[in-house]
């Protein structure tokens, strides 16, 4: 893998797939955020692994190509793709997908919400795709949770500041949120 910013850009337009007993769900990634590394000489203090390795962030220090799934606000899960260039921890938060396959399953998991709101936001997409903390550390190469490049890209990508990281002195200024230009499926 490469640095998180390159990876976050590259992931836009790729397809996230999850196969479970309930069936198969897939969505095109339209919004990501890069975490880790440095920007203009400052370390990313919004990154969970910023202060070093802990029980929670252990998989961020492991091999790239795995999932880092954590619990947020006591009730929602968020999914990252671990991207570790030369042993340095880094990740890409998947923030939104455009539902492609298994839409009725997603609607059932999302209590019948409108299609637009199924996977618009990191917690929502985990609910819709059936991703939870049991998937922390999952191998994204072997599945049943993986990422495909279906060759439809490249897609135009826009960057902006990351969301909900105001607590971070430097990190809140990093323009490391990436969205598919013009997509109605991004979180905002």
Partner DNA sequence: TTCGCGATCCGCT
Partner DNA sequence: GCGGATCGCGAAC
Cα separation values, 68 from 73, 75, 104, 153, Å: 16, 16, 26, 25
Does 114 contact DNA by CB under 7 A? no
Residue 62 interacts with DNA (CB under 7 A): yes or no: no
**Least distance (Å) between residue 45 CB and DNA:** 10
Q: Is 142 in the site for DNA (CB under 7 A)?
A: no
* Strand 15-20 relative to strand 76-82, pairing: unpaired
Q: Are strands 157-160 and 42-43 parallel, antiparallel or unpaired?
A: unpaired
Which tokens go with 96? 């939104």
- Closer residue to DNA (CB): 15 or 165: 165
Q: For the beta carbon of residue 31, count every other beta carbon within 10 angstroms.
A: 29
The yes or no reply on residue 33 touching DNA (CB under 7 A) is yes
Binding site for DNA (CB under 7 A): 33, 35, 46-49, 51, 54-57, 68, 71-76, 78, 80, 91, 93, 110, 113, 117, 121-125, 127, 163-165, 167, 187
């Amino acid at each position: 893998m490469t640095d998180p910013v390159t990876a976050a850009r590259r992931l836009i337009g790729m397809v996230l797939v999850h196969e479970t007993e309930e069936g198969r769900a897939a969505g095109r990634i339209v919004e990501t955020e890069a975490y880790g590394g440095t920007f203009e000489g400052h370390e990313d203090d919004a990154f969970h692994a910023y202060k070093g390795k802990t029980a929670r962030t252990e998989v961020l220090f492991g091999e790239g190509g795995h999932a880092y799934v954590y619990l947020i606000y006591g009730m929602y899960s968020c999914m990252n793709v671990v991207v570790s260039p030369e042993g340095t921890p880094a990740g890409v938060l998947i923030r939104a997908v455009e539902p492609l396959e298994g839409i009725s399953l997603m609607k059932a998991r999302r209590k019948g919400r409108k299609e637009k709101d199924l996977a618009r936001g990191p917690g929502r997409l985990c609910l819709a795709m059936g991703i939870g903390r049991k998937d922390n550390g999952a191998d994204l190469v072997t599945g049943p949770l993986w990422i495909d490049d279906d060759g439809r890209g490249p897609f135009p990508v826009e960057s902006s500041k990351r969301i909900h990281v105001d607590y971070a002195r430097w990190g809140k200024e990093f323009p490391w949120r990436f969205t598919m230009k013009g997509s109605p499926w991004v979180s905002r």
